[in-house]
Structure formats: C-alpha cells, structure tokens
Structure 1
C-alpha cells in the first residue's frame, strides 16, 4: 500500500517539490517500509519519534523536524537534525547556535491564516525576526513554512498559500549571508496539489502515503 501511494503522489509532484512522508503517527517498521518504497525524506514532530525513526532508517534517509520544537529539546536531536520547518522563536536559534556542530536548514513558520490553534509568526513579524537571526551562523534560513486551514474551501486554502508565496518574494529581495528565502514548505495530504500551484518546494504528506494512523 505504502509503495503504491508513494509512487502515485511522486508521479503527480515530479521534480516540482521535495516530497516528505510524514511518519509521526506510524511505527519505525512502517517508516522502513516507506524507505524501501523509495521515500528518502521523512517528517516527525516529536523528538522521541524523530530519534526513533533516525535510528531505524538507513544513513541516507533525511528526517525533517516539522513540529514545534521546545528550546530545551534542541540539544537532544541537534546532531541528527538538518531541516527544521518550525522556527519562530529566537530561543531555539540560540540553542542551535550553542549546540550544533553543523548548520541547520530552517524554515520560518508563518501563521498566515491567523488561527489561534496554529503556531508561527504573523507575516508582519517576519522581517524583524530575520534581522535577529542574522547573527546565528549555524541557523541557515532557507524559506518559509505555513499550514492552511482545515477546510474544504479551496479558495481559503489558495489564499493562504498565495500570501506566503508573495511574502517569500518580498523577503527574498533582502537575502544575505545566512538568510536566503528561496523555499516554501507548504501543503499536506489534503491540499498539496493547491500548494504546488503557488510554488511549494517542500510538501509534507502523511496519510495519503502512510495510510490512516
């Protein structure tokens, strides 16, 4: 099942975006099955799950941390973390700078929809946050991340992705040193196709690849 699901979605996406299989609700054995099906990028939202999958998977598998990361947990996973999709606090950047022996590719999490249930900065807060991050040389900001509302209204979803894409273009005018806003992490199982229309370069797909939890 996983192999058929992955193959079908990979064919739809092609080379337009990096496909991340979100395995946070699935076992390490299922993650290995996904690897054998061709998956190389995996998404986890808890340090414990991140470390479990990293240990179980072959060395060339890349595990992305996609959930909210508490600053006190950075040290626990930093040696194995190369992509963080949820940076929205300077305290986390400080810990990366303190404990990491390598640069970490980071997406700034932006709460475009303004929902109280979602983490992230408002679009207006991002420029000043980027200025503060410029002093952390082990934090390599590569783009922006957002999540659309959980709705069937495709116009609302499109509006969120369009706004993030426009924000990326605005911010990219001031790219410098460790701040290079080029990538967009957006789109999940139910809306990755819409995200691709607005320039998503990383999509995070869970149930459509891995099946229901």
Structure 2
C-alpha cells in the first residue's frame, strides 16, 4: 500500500493559463511518481482533464497549455462547448457520464470517445447514429465495482456477456473498461475497486470475442488517481486538481448517491 493521501484540501480555482499549466505539471509529476512506485512506464498512463463546469475562457487556457482531449459528464454541456469552440479543430471530447438513448445523436456527432457504456439500448442507438454520421466511436464499458445501488455501470458478473454482444455494433470501437471507485479516504476501501476492474479486464482479454481490444482501464480521479495507477490504470480522469473546486454540487453531474469527484 502507498502512503499517498487520497483526499486533498479544496482546490484553488485556476484562473490563468499559468496556473492551469502549473497544475497540469504537478499532476504529471504525481503520475510519474506513482508509475515509479509501480515499476511502470509513465507513457502508459493517459491524463484525461475533466472540464465539466469549466467555462470557455478557462478551457481555451487549458488548450493553450496543451490539452487536446477533455472529459465531460453532461452531453448537452459538452456539445455546446464543442460548437462554441469549433475553431479549435484539434480539441476533442470524451463523454464520461451516463447517457440516455435520446442523447446518442449528439455523442455520435462530435465525441471522440464514450466511457460509460453499460446497456445495449445505448449501444444500438449510438451505432445507428454513428452509421448515419459516417463515424465510429471509441467506447469503454462502465462497471460498478463498488457495488453501490445508486451507481450506473454493469455488475461485474454481467460484463463478459455484455462484451460478447458488442461485436454486433460495428461503429463502436471497444477500448476497455471504466469505473468510479468508492469515494473514501480509506485506501483499503478504494483499492479493491481498481483491483476488480483490472481482473475483469484480464478475464475479458482471455474470454471475450474482442479480447485484445480490452486494453484501457479508465479509473482514478483527483482524490485517488495515484492508487489507480498503482493498480494498473491507463487513463486517469482529473478535473478539480487541474481547474479547481466546483461551485455546483456533485449531484448535478453524477447520479444521486454517486460521490465520485474527478
């Protein structure tokens, strides 16, 4: 077990490009340190900055600081930002929150990836809309590793059957798994969520029809991403540690009872 504290004090709002750049450098340094503890190559871990609630001016600062992929929970918020910042042609968007089928048309139009796939109705809706758009989409399957009824995501014992159904949706490029760990300062409660996701990924690589495609593990957020890296994360979703604490409550961006804070 590492001695890294998972929950840090409230983050100061980053209101300049220099502050965002400094926060990004700090996160990358912590990623490197976590990789060193786990004897991993830092290049195997992708930082996904999460820009929910972040306004256009600060997103443009993040872009100037080098960010080219941003994560968003709310589809309509992300779509609006995509339209407003269409001049940034190499700025891409990842949807990391729950998706209703009637919003699939928006994701199919603009998103680079979708990290919260957990039912076949959404898979079918996305596939149909993507075919109409002439696009494909990277997707990660969301798993409820904490066992909380309030969280979205497949139960661990449903993941293999779900994965076996995905080849039917040709516009979806399966990339791996995603989870929201239990939000806790207790390492002994948080790490098992990451360990479980990694073990499911390893099982899928052996038994799923697209096994080799299940490479990504998107897990770990501002408070716990170092533990996630030590347990095999390939993508960490970090928002507040880059942009600062949010004014809106978490319940606005996550389902009721879901206490994850990227």
Shorter-chain TM-score: what band?
over 0.9
Q: Is it true that 1:66 corresponds to 2:96 in the alignment?
A: yes
**Corresponding residue of 1:2:** 20
**Corresponding residue of 1:39:** 67
After superposing the two structures, state which structure 1 stretch, 9-18 or 74-83, moved more: 9-18
Q: State the alpha-carbon separation in 2 of the partners of residues 194 and 94 from structure 1.
A: 34
| Aligned 1:178-197 pairs, distance under 5 A | 180-197=213-230
**Corresponding residue of 1:106:** 139
Question: For 2:79, which of 45, 51, 54 is the aligned residue?
Answer: 51
- Indicate how the Cα distance of structure 1 residues 178 and 77 shifts in structure 2: closer, same or farther if over 3 A, else same: farther
Q: State the alpha-carbon separation in 2 of the partners of residues 148 and 169 from structure 1.
A: 18
Q: State the alpha-carbon separation in 1 of the partners of residues 226 and 81 from structure 2.
A: 27
Q: Is it true that 1:128 corresponds to 2:146 in the alignment?
A: no
Q: State the alpha-carbon separation in 2 of the partners of residues 154 and 31 from structure 1.
A: 32
Q: State the alpha-carbon separation in 1 of the partners of residues 207 and 89 from structure 2.
A: 35
Contact between 1:114 and 1:122, CA under 8 Å: does it hold in 2? yes
Q: State the alpha-carbon separation in 1 of the partners of residues 223 and 128 from structure 2.
A: 37
TM-score by length of 2: 0.78
Unaligned runs of at least 5 residues, structure 2 = 1-18, 32-41, 247-262
**Corresponding residue of 2:35:** none
State the Cα deviation string for residues 127-180 of structure 1 (Å, max 9, x = none): 111122121111111100001111100111111101110110111113545971
- Indicate how the Cα distance of structure 1 residues 176 and 102 shifts in structure 2: closer, same or farther if over 3 A, else same: farther
Q: State the alpha-carbon separation in 2 of the partners of residues 117 and 49 from structure 1.
A: 23
Contact between 1:19 and 1:41, CA under 8 Å: does it hold in 2? no
Q: How many residues align?
A: 213
More strand by share: 1
**Corresponding residue of 2:149:** 116
CA RMSD of aligned residues (A): 1.5
TM-score by length of 1: 0.95
**Corresponding residue of 2:207:** 174
Cα displacement (A) at 1:40? 1.7
Q: Quick check: which has more Rg, 1 or 2?
A: 2
SS at 1:134 equivalent? helix
**Corresponding residue of 2:124:** 94
**Corresponding residue of 1:16:** 44
